[in-house]
């Protein structure tokens, strides 16, 4: 009987040699006359163990990792294809503490199924949500999503159902669904892992969105830095269309939904929704003034639902299991789960899907095992390059949108970047300004000019030129950027800058009591 062996095709696994491992396994199996079926699955998200090879046994899947091509012969010697003992054995995958402590709803299938097998997808509850949605009126779908409490997972946390309701009510012959897959934040890779590991769930989510608001065309705007995600999505769309889950008369419902992947071109600001629309229309990614809201006048001037990958990919399970099931997870007004991404200087980095309410300390120590360098953790940036740096005093706050707002921090897209005690926070603050200067679209002055001035001022602070006056200037400048910028690019760059200054004043040459901000 043929043994099923899984070697991830996820980018992170590929970057650590998964293709070589897969080739070696095939060659070694052929040489030993062992019949295997090789599946290139998504990643389980335990990225320090990649490439994580799994074998299907009667007891369940058994994991081995991190495997290099040179380990393959010894794995066969140990009969790993039957689950044999080996120093790289991690035991039953499902029993691994890192996975077992998670609540995987949106990522339920990632790492388990063959990403491009629609049969596999359907066997694992795929397309149940769409089938349910097809029995409902548009307003009833929107109602379910609203009741689930789902909020935009891209960072802004706007209630998804309310957005859909606005598009549903808008009267237009053409409406669009746009998926924002321009995941540019450092420390985030959930969108990428999901698109590479379970593309059909995103396609299903977008199709449900289309039914909910009456849209017939969708676009997935994917960053050019994600070539593998683009390739997987393009293949999945072809498969879904061939199986009548996309295109005209979806499953005999007389409903039409076409879907296309559009490749971005390396501009961070295009993750801002109106800049993304400009880019999709073929222009420079310049932020538009709001109103009009994209829900009223969006892509090509038509009512448009714009949601992040994770928001859309969470819709199928809400439809198949009901709003109450999803809402049962989480705390306060943050309902459901968030796929957190633990990254940077951390021993066990990876994808951790948990209900809201978990703390940073649990993330970094219970899951992450501390800094990769073995040193003390100093600061953690949550929510991408526009998110605040959190000092240890804030690591026990539950991760919830409102609790983070109260800390003058943001959860954003759930990226967690850990820095050890060698980090220089003044340098990181300068980098935040520099990044803004590089990536600013240039439309508004506070961002375009402010970021350049911010770098200059911080250079003077770091060089100890007239430091007190420069810090006053920096605070004023941040105030202007916060209140005067058109979008989050300039408007949130002060978060990392001022939080670094507030919590780590010694890095700016100040006494520990420092200046108080925000």
Partner 1 sequence: MNPTCPSEQVASIIATHQDRPGALLPILHAIQDAMGFIPPDSINEIAGALNLSRAEVHGVITFYHYFQTTPPARHQIQICCAEACQSMGSERLMQHAEAAASGSTNYAVHPVYCLGLCATSPAMMIDDQLHARVTPDKFDRLINKIGSES
d(Cα 379, Cα 389) in Å, to the nearest integer? 6
CB of 344 to partner 1, least distance (A): 4
Q: Kindly state the tokens that stand for 500.
A: 């670094």
287 CB neighbour count, 10 Å cutoff: 26
- Could you give the CA distance from residue 142 to residue 136 in angstroms, rounded to a whole number? 10
Q: Give the C-alpha separation, 473 to 471, whole Å.
A: 5
Rg of the chain in Å (alpha carbons): 24
Q: Which residue lies nearer to partner 1 by CB, 373 or 480?
A: 373
- 397-416 as b/e, with b when 16 or more CB fall inside 10 Å? bbbbbebbeeeebbbbbbbb
C-alpha dihedral sign at 307, 313, 314, 320: positive
Task: Give the tokens for residue 180.
Answer: 């924002």
Q: Is 367 in the site for partner 1 (CB under 8 A)?
A: no
Query: Closest approach of Cβ 108 to partner 1, in Å?
Result: 20
297 scored as a contact of partner 1 (CB under 8 A): no
> Binding of partner 1 at residue 16 (CB under 8 A)?
yes
Tell me how far, at minimum, the Cβ of 116 lies from partner 1, in Å.
Answer: 19
Omega within 30 of 0 (cis) for the link into 292: yes
* Summary count for the chain: helices (H), strands (E): 21, 16
The verdict on 507 binding partner 1 (CB under 8 A) reads no
Shortest distance in whole angstroms from residue 243 CB to partner 1: 25
Asked whether position 70 contacts partner 1 by CB under 8 A, the answer is: no
**188 near partner 1, rule: CB under 8 A:** yes
Nearer to partner 1, 323 or 501 (CB): 501
Residue 235 in the binding site for partner 1 (CB under 8 A): no
- Spell out, one character per residue from 309 to 348, where the chain touches partner 1: x when CB under 8 A holds, - when not: --------------------------------xxxxxx--
Q: Which x/- pattern, by CB under 8 A, does the window 262-291 give for partner 1?
A: xxxxxxx----------xxxxxxx------
Binding track over 205-224 against partner 1, x by CB under 8 A? -------------------x
Phi, then psi, of 420 in degrees rounded to 5: -85, -175
Q: Rank residues 205 and 414 by Cβ distance to partner 1 and give the closer one.
A: 414
Q: Per-residue x/- marks for partner 1, 422-461, CB under 8 A?
A: -x----x--x---x--xx----------------------
Show contacts with partner 1 in window 38-67 (CB under 8 A). 47-48, 50
Whole-number minimum distance, CB 181 to partner 1, in Å?
11
Which one of 334, 381, 394, 440 is in contact with partner 1 (CB under 8 A)? 381
- 418 binds partner 1 per the rule CB under 8 A: yes
- Binding of partner 1 at residue 225 (CB under 8 A)? yes
Q: What is the edge-to-edge ordering of all strands in the sheet holding 350-355?
A: 350-355, 337-344, 415-420, 377-382, 389-390
Number of residues that bind partner 1 (CB under 8 A): 57
Dist. CA 482–CA 495, nearest whole Å: 9
DSSP for 277-295 reads HHHHTTS--PPPPSSSPTT
Q: Is 420 in the site for partner 1 (CB under 8 A)?
A: yes
Judged by CB under 8 A, the stretch of 1-9, 203-211, 412-420, 486-494 that binds partner 1 is 412-420
Cβ-based nearer residue to partner 1, 142 or 458: 458
Least separation in angstroms between CB 253 and partner 1 = 25
d(C-alpha 17, C-alpha 69), whole Å: 8
Single out the segment in contact with partner 1 by CB under 8 A; choices: 14-22, 87-95, 110-118, 444-452.
Answer: 14-22
* Block residue for tokens 């449900």: 208
- In terms of Cβ atoms closer than 10 Å to its own Cβ (0-12, 13-18, 19+), residue 464 is exposed
Supply angle C-alpha 307, 13, 204, rounded to 5: 30
For Cα atoms 54, 55, 57, give the angle at the middle one, nearest 5 degrees: 140
Q: Does 131 bind partner 1 (CB under 8 A)?
A: no
Q: Is the dihedral of CA 61, 62, 68, 74 positive or negative?
A: negative
- Of 8, 115, 152, 187, the one binding partner 1 (CB under 8 A) is 187
Binding interface with partner 1 (CB under 8 A): 11-12, 14-16, 47-48, 50, 183-189, 192, 224-227, 262-268, 279-285, 300, 341-346, 349-350, 372, 381, 385, 415, 417-420, 423, 428, 431, 435, 438-439
């Amino acid at each position: 009987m043929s043994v099923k062996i899984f070697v991830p095709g996820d980018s992170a696994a590929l970057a650590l040699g998964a293709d070589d491992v897969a080739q070696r396994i095939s060659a070694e199996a052929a040489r030993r006359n062992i019949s295997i079926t090789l599946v290139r699955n998504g990643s389980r998200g335990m990225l320090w163990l990649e490439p994580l090879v799994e074998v299907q046994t009667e007891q369940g899947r058994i994991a081995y990792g991190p495997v290099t091509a040179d380990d393959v012969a010894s794995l066969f010697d140990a009969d790993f294809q039957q689950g044999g003992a080996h120093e790289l054995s991690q035991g039953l995958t499902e029993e691994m503490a890192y996975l077992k402590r998670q609540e995987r709803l949106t990522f339920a299938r990632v790492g388990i199924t063959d990403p491009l097998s629609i049969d596999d997808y359907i066997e694992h509850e795929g397309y149940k949500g769409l089938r349910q949605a097809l029995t409902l009126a548009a307003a009833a779908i929107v109602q379910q999503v609203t009741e689930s409490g789902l909020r935009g997972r891209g960072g802004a946390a706007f209630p998804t159902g309310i957005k859909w309701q606005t598009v549903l009510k808008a009267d237009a012959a053409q409406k669009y669904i746009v998926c924002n897959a321009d995941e540019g934040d450092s420390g985030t890779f959930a969108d990428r892992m999901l698109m590479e590991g379970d593309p059909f769930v995103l396609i299903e989510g977008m199709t449900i969105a289309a039914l909910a608001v009456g849209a017939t065309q969708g676009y997935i705007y994917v960053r050019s830095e994600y070539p593998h995600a683009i390739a997987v999505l393009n293949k999945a769309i072809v498969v879904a269309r061939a199986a009548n889950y996309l295109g005209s008369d979806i499953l005999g419902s007389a409903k039409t939904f076409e879907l296309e992947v559009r490749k971005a071109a390396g501009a961070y600001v295009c993750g801002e929704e109106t800049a993304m629309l400009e880019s999709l229309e073929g222009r420079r990614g310049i932020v538009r003034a709001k109103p009009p809201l994209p829900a009223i006048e969006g892509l090509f001037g038509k009512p448009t639902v714009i949601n992040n990958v994770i928001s859309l990919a969470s819709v199928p399970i809400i439809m198949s299991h009901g709003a109450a099931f999803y809402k049962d997870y989480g705390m306060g007004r943050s309902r459901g789960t968030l796929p957190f991404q633990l990254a940077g200087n951390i021993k066990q980095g990876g994808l951790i899907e948990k209900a809201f309410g978990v703390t940073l300390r649990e993330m970094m120590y219970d899951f992450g095992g501390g800094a990769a360098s073995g040193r003390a953790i100093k600061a953690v940036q949550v929510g991408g390059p526009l998110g605040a740096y959190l000092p240890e005093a804030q690591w026990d706050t539950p991760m919830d949108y409102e609790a983070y707002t109260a800390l003058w921090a943001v959860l954003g897209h759930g990226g967690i970047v850990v820095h050890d005690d060698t980090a220089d926070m003044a340098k990181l603050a300068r980098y935040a300004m520099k990044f803004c200067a590089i990536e600013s679209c240039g439309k508004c002055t506070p961002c375009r000019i402010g970021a350049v001035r911010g770098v200059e001022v911080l250079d003077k602070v770091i060089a100890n030129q007239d430091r007190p006056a420069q810090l006053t200037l920096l605070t004023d400048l941040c105030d202007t950027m916060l209140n005067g910028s058109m979008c989050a690019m300039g408007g949130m760059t002060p978060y990392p800058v001022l939080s670094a200054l507030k919590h780590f004043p010694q890095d700016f040459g100040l006494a520990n009591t420092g200046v108080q901000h925000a």
